[in-house]
Structure 1
């Protein structure tokens, strides 16, 4: 398996200096060079625009940036691999997310970090702010609150809402599995898939794989295989246990991995090398915890036909930036009020289709810098916006 072209790792000083003053600023779409420009952009001219919108609120979509503005919202409780670091410390991450929306999706975005973890308060805050944005990207909200928060916001807001840690990961994982299947000449429906991790990403990944036609998905949490009636299996886990693990396996990682075709790591738990030997011949190992994969890619490659990680310094990076800019762009282009399962599946198919042009065991997904990705995803999502949920 080939490796990406080596890039010198930035030093701490490099990183801190690049973030001086933050990573975002506002820009102008109209000139402000003279008195006439000022009279148009602000008073008295702007009053004409305000009167028009007051008479017809729908005109806000035409005369403001609202319908092209994504709010990146976090409470700072589950930030990258750092955990609950609070809203202020999470802001650099949210700024980065907003920068990615602009660079890869051409969408304006604003980070909003909230000094509360109360779901009711977050929902109320965003309902009050709704006239200021066109979509909500939830980011780095801890499980299981993230499930309730996303559900409540989808019900309360008349605009697209998506928790990217759940669904962005799931979309790219599905695309990567489609690419891996194409390389090996296999079908998704015939794979025995094990997902280690029943948090935000694990639950969403299991559900999108089932929706895409996978028939044998087994999910592990810190106590073992999810099974209906097992101790500690409640809420989202209980619902997931009812639709996964069709062979009703019980036990821990060894029992789940015996004969499995795919391992998906989303839990930060270490995967011992000897357990890889229990898998079926030529398996796929997607060790996605970042920065430390569940098993080192070089070790996984001794057993696996295809290896993927969440890191940029190994092949087959499962990177959410392949999905979320195009998903939101497509939803906003279509004027969608919801991001549906059909739109997520369409996004995954679009990413996989771009990868087909250069498919190989170490290239099962496109590069995040492939300029075809975001337009392909946005077009597919917009086209699927009218499909049933």
Structure 2
């Protein structure tokens, strides 16, 4: 069950982080109760049988066993007297401006905390103390300017989408060795705003930094990442040194940047990569080295300035070298004359629908 939960969270990494969370649907789909079944005793189950909503539920909230929903209530502060056995606390779409030191005091069993779409600009450094069981922390759509201190050590999904974060300080994520999803997209974060060592001690699978102000691929991200989203930035080029650290990378998104060139050998360090998005950039030719990527299945190059395609740009010269055939190559919205492209160019593609050409307009 835990393995399934982690796979679901990783899949959510590419979903829109700013969408409101339907807490009850979330509980139904991922069965968070079972995720910590070794830590929920029979005594806890008996307590649920005696649950009295009117007596235990904070004013203005709706409660179910271990779930407290206080969303869309115009709350200006965290409600008092939240039951100590609460697993899920929903505070979305309120007017919270600050999280104080003792707002979550006693909530040591908390598993998911949803603070999406508030007005938070300040979080006390000790606000998350004693939250060893917290796994999901959603802080998207707020006014935070930096990463809060002392984040819960066992969190597996952390979202800061669309805040005001323009700096990530050294050791900002130190100790988060169980993190799988880190979403930082839609923040005014420039390359110069990421301090050296900002990701020290962090082990994660997905990092999202789309819609920021990056001018280069960050080179100090966790080496464990398997998916990196950098769409809608201001990146100008891709260099060999960009991905040396990311040997486990499977999916790379660089669409809607200003990339004019990809240095030969840039993807040598990512031999297992499956999917590359380089659409809507300023490339004038197919990036070199794609034919050597044995497991690459999807490459998006539409919306560039590519005017020619070579017969060996995608497929290796020697048959049998490629382990996975392509399922998608997009080249539409380029000035390439599709009638000049040799049929053998796509000899390692599955089916005719695997290639998209044409539809170029000046």
**Which protein is richer in helix relative to its size?**
1
Q: With structure 2 as the length reference, what TM-score do the two structures score?
A: 0.30
State which structure, 1 or 2, has the greater radius of gyration over its C-alpha atoms.
Answer: 2
Q: With structure 1 as the length reference, what TM-score do the two structures score?
A: 0.28
RCO (CA 8 Å, sep 6+): is it higher in 1 or 2? 1
